[in-house]
Amino acid sequence: MKEKILLLAAATLGLAACRQSAPAEVVIEKPAVAVNDGRFTPEVMWSLGQIGEYALSPDGKQVAYGVKYISMEENKGNVELYVMPVEGGDATRLTTTAASEFSPVWLDANTLLFCRGNEIRSINVDSKKEQVVATNENGFEGFKVSPDGTSLVYISTIPVERPDHLNKLYAGLDKTTGRINEDLMYRHWDNWVDEIPHIYLVTLTNGKANMESAVDILGADQPYECPMRPWGGTEQYNYSPDGTKIVYTCRKKTGYDYAHSTNSDIYLYDIASGETKNLSEGIMGYDQNPVFNHDGTMVAWESMERDGYESDKLRLMVMDLASGTKVDLTEDFDYGVSGISWSADDKELVAVVMYRGTLELFAFNRESKTIRQLSQGMHDVNGFQMTGSQIVASQVSMQYPATLYAYNLSDDKAEGRKLTTVNDEVLGQVRMGKVEPYWIKTVDGKEMLTWLIYPYDYDSTKTYPALLFCEGGPQNIVSQFWSTRWNFEVMSGAGYFVIAPNRRGVPGFGMEWLEQISGDYGGLCMQDYMSATDYFANNFPQIDKERIGACGASFGGYSIYWLAGHNHDVKGYDEGRRFKAFLAHNGMFNFEQQYLETEEMWFDNWDLGGPYWDWNNPQIKKSYSNSPHLFVDKWNTPICVIHSEFDFRIVASEGMAAYNAAQMRHIPSRYLYFPDETHWVLKPQNSLLWHRNFIDWFDQWLKK
């Protein structure tokens, strides 16, 4: 159920857009926005440009990037490509089309490749002249070019074939919508598993790809994902510096085995011989995102130790290819890494680290094993690219969306140099709510970082309602993230304080803090929510303690259902209720049903301890006794339930059951259902309805 930041989901939509056949004629442009009262609303949020994929040029002097603008009328967005100098200056627009462009990749210092429709195209950044490089009827999900520019490896899909004994049942039934399955993992997150991604090698001659000679690197008869669904992209494979080998990520499992295991591996493919070697054999957790060093003698990747534990620490593993020796550069470092890049001299590796409430750049010295922090601030570095010592990063905070910043390998806890100004005009009209960090004592005497976001136009002589934000995941950090769904500044703009705790179970505060939540969903993590709420209710007179609500999605939605059953006889609050209104999005309501309805079985096996019918297991008794549906008799507070049909992680019946329970208890309640959304609400008009409903619901119970 672990949620990724919405940026990843948005990127997935961008990949899907590449495979649309006939784009609309409307070119969606940057809207004109006037914010008259300085209030940040959902409408203002959706008017902002969304910087997505970007690419640093081989000489480190230019960065190309995509910007998406949304049309509420059209209910969709459009991505155009821009390029700007890294040293600063004006951006140049490269494309103006009705079809979105994505996956920018530099061929050389003047030529950019990208995807549009079912084509890979090239554009001269000076003349803006375009040429078709490759066409694929099944589309592209991204690609990488070899170091010498003579080939590329692209992602496309192959169908999942029915076995013959089932295929014969469909004879003559070309209009049937029925699905017959005889194994697990027939659906994943938000899609039926009808096709799987593979990577293909194709040569480039005079700027053209010979698609007829494309080679399926895994083999057309191999029913395995490369890259891995649902999050994997081009970061999961790389060329060797001499272009003779490809290293890639794959979990060579299907069906029942896939649903129960996170054991993926790193494979080395020799282009000339076609031979494949498993580099990570014996490592039982996720191994992913391999990167060659500059002379091709070593490979680094992100590695988890334990099978079935999707939130295990991501170690920085380095392997010497000649000797086969593996070294963990994070052995004495209590935090995980993501996104790895080698320094020019191969002595250091740079990665993003979730660190004490923010996402920062760190450098790991391969020889001395020393670690240094390159970036620091009230921001999240969501990803970066590095050429030489030049680093370009995508950076966000609770107060601004994705913006490109420049760093240098020699930096020491720097805040970065801002490059893009896509949203400066609109954000300059907005008065954002102040964001402050607080370290709060928990019931067992530990310290917990909690963000407090102040309401728009805060006046210290007034009192305001407040919202407790319950994070999903469950092992997701509450960092300086920016989202078009859970946007704290939208809540601030609606006139609320927001209390956002990094409760037990989130990364960035050491492995002990991270792992405490597994098997203890109703324990200290819930106490942490209550501790944070009580701290601010009792120490901030500007927060009206009798007007506090709580909201959350996924594990956060479960948290709301659990809190709803434990919101009585609370000392110091009117009517013994700490919270006066709830909102739960796509949350787990009935653990026994959830265990049988979800698809990634490794998750529930790890976090709950296994199947509910194993009643001789004390862990099972403890875990399932915290299922929210067991406490409905204690519900006494208005609750809004939101759920979506294409959420295969936590299916829609969970939300419907929770809403029905509230109705049958005569609890004031509301049900918002989306028949065409997933674990997230991504379509623009659906999102706007989501936000309007969110504000209306809490205004009804906390402002009247």
> What would the mean pLDDT of 150-170 be, rounded to a whole number?
96
220 occurs within a structural domain = yes
Helix locations, 494-589, DSSP H = 511-515, 524-539, 555-564
- Domain span holding position 349: 339-424
pLDDT at 11 over 60: no
Q: Give yes or no: residues 574 and 534 share one domain.
A: yes
Q: Give yes or no: residues 84 and 155 share one domain.
A: no
- Angstrom distance (rounded) from CA 162 to CA 176: 15
Q: Give yes or no: residues 387 and 531 share one domain.
A: no
User: Strand, helix or coil at 547?
Assistant: strand
| 194 closest CA partner among 248, 235, 265, 138 | 138
Assign 25 a pLDDT band (cuts: 50, 70, 90). confident
What pLDDT does residue 677 have? 98
- Beta strand 400-408 pairing with 380-387: unpaired
Q: Give yes or no: residues 153 and 292 share one domain.
A: yes
What pLDDT does residue 8 have? 38
Q: Give yes or no: residues 469 and 594 share one domain.
A: yes
Lowest mean pLDDT among 16-25, 180-189, 287-296, 653-662: 16-25
Instruction: Exactly one of 554, 623, 627, 644 is catalytic; name it.
Output: 554
pLDDT at 3 over 60: no
Instruction: Exactly one of 312, 411, 604, 647 is catalytic; name it.
Output: 647
172 occurs within a structural domain = no
- Tell me the pTM: 0.95
What pLDDT does residue 377 have? 97
C-alpha distances in Å from residue 329, one per residue of 110, 326, 591, 594:
37, 10, 38, 38
Assign 5 a pLDDT band (cuts: 50, 70, 90). very low
What phi, psi does 638 have (nearest 5°)?
A: -55, 140
CB-based contacts of 440, cutoff 8 Å, min separation 6: 447, 448, 450, 501, 531, 532, 535
What pLDDT does residue 36 have? 86
- Beta strand 187-188 pairing with 130-135: unpaired
pLDDT in tens, 408-465: 999 999 999 999 999 999 999 999 999 999 999 999 999 999 999 999 999 999 999 9
Q: Give yes or no: residues 631 and 697 share one domain.
A: yes
pLDDT in tens, 473-484: 999 999 999 999
Assign 247 a pLDDT band (cuts: 50, 70, 90). very high
Q: Give yes or no: residues 665 and 526 share one domain.
A: yes
Q: Give yes or no: residues 548 and 650 share one domain.
A: yes
Domain CATH code at residue 112 = 2.40.128
Assign 155 a pLDDT band (cuts: 50, 70, 90). very high
Domain boundary among 328, 348, 375: 328
173 occurs within a structural domain = no
Q: Give yes or no: residues 488 and 348 share one domain.
A: no
167 occurs within a structural domain = no
333 occurs within a structural domain = no
- Angstrom distance (rounded) from CA 324 to CA 281: 11
What phi, psi does 354 have (nearest 5°)?
A: -75, 115
What pLDDT does residue 704 have? 82
179 occurs within a structural domain = no
Instruction: Exactly one of 280, 679, 687, 691 is catalytic; name it.
Output: 679
What pLDDT does residue 375 have? 98
pLDDT at 261 over 90: yes
647 tagged catalytic: yes
Place of tokens 């589309």: 139
180 occurs within a structural domain = no
Place of tokens 């390029």: 83
pLDDT in tens, 497-540: 999 999 999 999 999 999 999 999 999 999 999 999 999 999 99
pLDDT in tens, 170-225: 999 999 999 999 999 999 999 999 999 999 999 999 999 999 999 999 999 999 99
What phi, psi does 324 have (nearest 5°)?
A: 80, 5
> What would the mean pLDDT of 114-137 be, rounded to a whole number?
97
Mean per-residue pLDDT over the chain, rounded? 95
pLDDT in tens, 597-648: 999 999 999 999 999 999 899 999 999 999 999 999 999 999 999 999 999 9
| Tokens found for residue 427 | 């954000």
175 occurs within a structural domain = no
Q: Give yes or no: residues 440 and 548 share one domain.
A: yes
pLDDT at 243 over 50: yes
Q: Give yes or no: residues 363 and 216 share one domain.
A: no
Domain CATH code at residue 572 = 3.40.50.1820
Q: How many domains does the chain have?
A: 4
For residues 59 and 388, the answer to whether their CB atoms sit within 8 Å is no
Domain CATH code at residue 324 = 2.130.10.10
Domain boundary among 392, 409, 424: 424
pLDDT at 671 over 90: yes
Domain boundary among 130, 153, 171: 130
Q: Give yes or no: residues 96 and 148 share one domain.
A: no
> What would the mean pLDDT of 20-47 be, rounded to a whole number?
86
Tell me the sheet residues that pair with 143. 154
Assign 26 a pLDDT band (cuts: 50, 70, 90). confident
